[in-house]
């Protein structure tokens, strides 16, 4: 390597370090507020950290979610829409039972997005996985592809929707991470309810914001992804499973 | 006989003349009810809105859904806010702003299969 080339590479490395630092500084401002005319950005990645040990025998998150999003039941559990549910995990050898909230995991490599034939299932720049019901044809490939059973199909006509949460017969839906609230700078309804009425088992935040509370906890404390063998890199992570 | 025929012709001419000069009659199809109860002016001139409102909604729909842009100017929620009937709170129904015009033009309207046609109930402390 000639001295000129070495010097050039040295300057290049210094420039790269500077560039990496600059977005890190901007992230903080971005996490604080996004104006309505600003598009969601890949600089953010919204996620949840759920502590299964703190999760008690309550369903505050489920009630709050379904109220916020106007998800009503018809009294037919087999086909009623379900955006979040309390799942029980039982250790076969010891018999220990744990309950935890199970919802769309907002995967980076989402199987539902992969299989969608119309592009209705998509991942927003900030990592939130959504269904564009304008293009959903109701084929339900995504329902079958999701390893977490997080998606529901609407079999019956819907009335009395919330203005922010359109829902209609013949389309698939799932947790939106309360995208209409997140866009206003609020936390999802389940997290708010868990911290208000529950045991504070759920935390919401930006996984990319190195200075943020969520990223700090993920760095410092052990956590795991559900079905880590599939390498989907979900935005929802669990502790004490 | 000739007097009766002349009378008939005169009567027909009178009716035709009245129809020509009188107000526009709806014929068999009732004219749409365009009753706007709120707001000073629309987000664009009326002629443009009549022709292009679906393009505006279509564009805004993708921007909001895909990118998370939540400006209110061309949003469906903003339309409903002004155009919902004061009586029913809805843009659908007999005198609904959307449904009566779409019935007149015989164009199927899909929005309200999923979106609520009702004006948002404003609660104290609610955002926007």
pLDDT tens track for A15-51: 554 444 444 444 444 445 688 989 999 999 999 999 9
Please indicate, yes or no, whether residues A84 and A173 belong to a single structural domain of this protein. yes
Q: Provide the CATH number for the domain around residue A133.
A: 3.30.70.20
d(CA A12, CA A18): 10
The pLDDT of residue A18: 45
Nearest to A238 by CA among A224, A220, A222: A224
Could you tell me if residue A39 is inside a domain? no
Cβ-based contacts of A133 with chain B (< 8 Å): 114
CA dihedral A18→A19→A21→A26, nearest 10 degrees, is: 140
Burial class (CB in 10 A: 0-12, 13-18, 19+), A33: exposed
- Structure-block tokens of residue A94: 């010891």
Could you tell me if residue A197 is inside a domain? yes
Domain ranges of chain B: 30-113
Inter-residue contact A161 to B90 (CB < 8 Å): no
pLDDT tier for residue A7 given thresholds of 50, 70 and 90:
low
Please indicate, yes or no, whether residues A158 and A51 belong to a single structural domain of this protein. yes
Query: Where in chain A does DSSP place strands (E)?
Result: 46-51, 84-90, 97-103, 121-123, 129-131, 152-153, 172-173, 202-206, 236-239
pLDDT at B118 over 90: yes
d(CA B118, CA A240): 45
Chain B residue closest in CA terms to A121 = B66
- Give the nearest partner residue to A124 out of B63, B68, B118, using CB atoms: B68
Could you tell me if residue A38 is inside a domain? no
Could you tell me if residue A101 is inside a domain? yes
The pLDDT of residue A6: 59
Could you tell me if residue A183 is inside a domain? yes
pLDDT at B124 over 50: no
Please indicate, yes or no, whether residues A121 and A79 belong to a single structural domain of this protein. yes
Please indicate, yes or no, whether residues A5 and A63 belong to a single structural domain of this protein. no
Q: Which of residues 76-95 of B touch A (CB under 8 A)?
A: 77, 80
Please indicate, yes or no, whether residues A88 and A18 belong to a single structural domain of this protein. no
Please indicate, yes or no, whether residues A28 and A100 belong to a single structural domain of this protein. no
Residue carrying the six token digits 């930006």: A206
d(CA A98, CA A80): 24
Please indicate, yes or no, whether residues A60 and A141 belong to a single structural domain of this protein. yes
Partners of A90 in the β-ladder: A97
pLDDT in tens, A66-105: 999 999 989 999 999 999 999 999 999 999 999 999 999 9
Please indicate, yes or no, whether residues A122 and A100 belong to a single structural domain of this protein. yes
Q: Which of residues 105-124 of B touch A (CB under 8 A)?
A: 113-116, 118, 120
Could you tell me if residue A120 is inside a domain? yes
Cβ-based contacts of A39 with chain B (< 8 Å): 63, 67-69
Interface of A with B (CB under 8 A): 34, 36-40, 122, 124-126, 130, 132-134, 158, 160-164, 166-169, 171, 179-180, 183-184, 186
- Give the nearest partner residue to B70 out of A36, A168, A169, using CB atoms: A36
Nearest to B80 by CA among B48, B39, B45, B51: B39
Could you tell me if residue A158 is inside a domain? yes
- Structure-block tokens of residue B108: 């199927």
Please indicate, yes or no, whether residues A169 and A193 belong to a single structural domain of this protein. yes
- Give the nearest partner residue to B61 out of A126, A134, A161, using CB atoms: A134
Please indicate, yes or no, whether residues A56 and A171 belong to a single structural domain of this protein. yes
Cβ-based contacts of B120 with chain A (< 8 Å): 163
Min Cα separation B22/chain A (Å): 44
Inter-residue contact B37 to B111 (CB < 8 Å): no
Cβ <8 Å between A161 and B114 = yes
Please indicate, yes or no, whether residues A206 and A127 belong to a single structural domain of this protein. yes
C-alpha A50: how far from its chain's center? 11
Please indicate, yes or no, whether residues A171 and A84 belong to a single structural domain of this protein. yes
The whole domain housing A212 covers 46-239
Could you tell me if residue A74 is inside a domain? yes
Inter-residue contact A77 to A136 (CB < 8 Å): no
Q: Please report which residue ranges of chain B form alpha helices under DSSP H.
A: 2-21, 46-62, 76-83, 97-105
For chain A, the domain total comes to 2
Would residue B89 be called left, alpha or beta, if left means φ above 0 and alpha means ψ between -120 and 50 degrees? left
Tell me the whole-structure pTM to 2 decimals.
Answer: 0.80
Min Cα separation B77/chain A (Å): 7
Cβ <8 Å between B71 and A184 = no
Residue carrying the six token digits 């502590």: A51
């Amino acid at each position: 390597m000639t001295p000129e080339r070495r010097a050039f590479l040295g300057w290049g490395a210094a420039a790269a370090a500077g560039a990496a630092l600059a977005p890190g500084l901007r992230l903080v401002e971005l996490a604080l507020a996004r104006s309505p005319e600003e598009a969601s950005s890949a600089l953010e990645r919204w996620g949840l950290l759920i502590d299964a040990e703190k999760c008690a025998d309550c369903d505050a998150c489920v009630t709050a979610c379904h109220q916020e999003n106007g998800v009503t039941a018809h009294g037919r559990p087999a086909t009623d829409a379900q955006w979040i549910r309390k799942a029980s995990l039982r250790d076969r050898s010891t018999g220990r039972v744990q309950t935890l909230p199970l919802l769309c995991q907002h995967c980076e490599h989402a199987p539902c997005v992969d299989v969608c034939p119309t592009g209705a299932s998509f991942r927003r720049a900030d990592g939130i996985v959504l269904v564009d019901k304008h293009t959903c044809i109701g084929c339900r490939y995504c329902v079958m592809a999701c390893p977490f059973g997080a998606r529901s199909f609407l079999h019956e006509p819907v009335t009395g929707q919330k203005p922010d949460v359109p829902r209609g017969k013949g389309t698939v839906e799932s947790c939106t991470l309360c995208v209409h609230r997140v866009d206003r700078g609020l936390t999802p309804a389940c997290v708010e309810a868990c911290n208000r009425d529950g045991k504070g088992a759920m935390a919401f935040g930006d996984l990319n914001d190195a200075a943020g509370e969520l990223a700090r906890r993920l760095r410092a404390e052990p956590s795991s992804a559900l079905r880590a063998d599939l390498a989907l890199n979900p935005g929802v992570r669990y502790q004490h499973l | 006989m000739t007097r009766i025929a002349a009378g008939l012709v005169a009567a027909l001419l009178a009716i035709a003349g009245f129809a020509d000069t009188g107000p526009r009659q709806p014929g068999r199809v009732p004219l749409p009810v365009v009753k706007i109860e709120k707001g000073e002016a629309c987000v664009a001139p009326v002629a443009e809105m009549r022709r292009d409102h679906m393009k505006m909604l279509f564009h805004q729909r993708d921007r909001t859904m895909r990118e998370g842009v939540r400006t209110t100017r061309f949003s469906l929620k903003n339309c409903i806010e002004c155009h919902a009937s004061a009586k029913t709170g809805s843009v659908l129904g007999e005198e609904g702003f959307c449904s009566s015009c779409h019935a007149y033009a015989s164009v199927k309207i899909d929005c309200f299969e999923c979106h609520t046609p009702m004006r948002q109930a404003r609660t104290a402390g609610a955002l926007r």
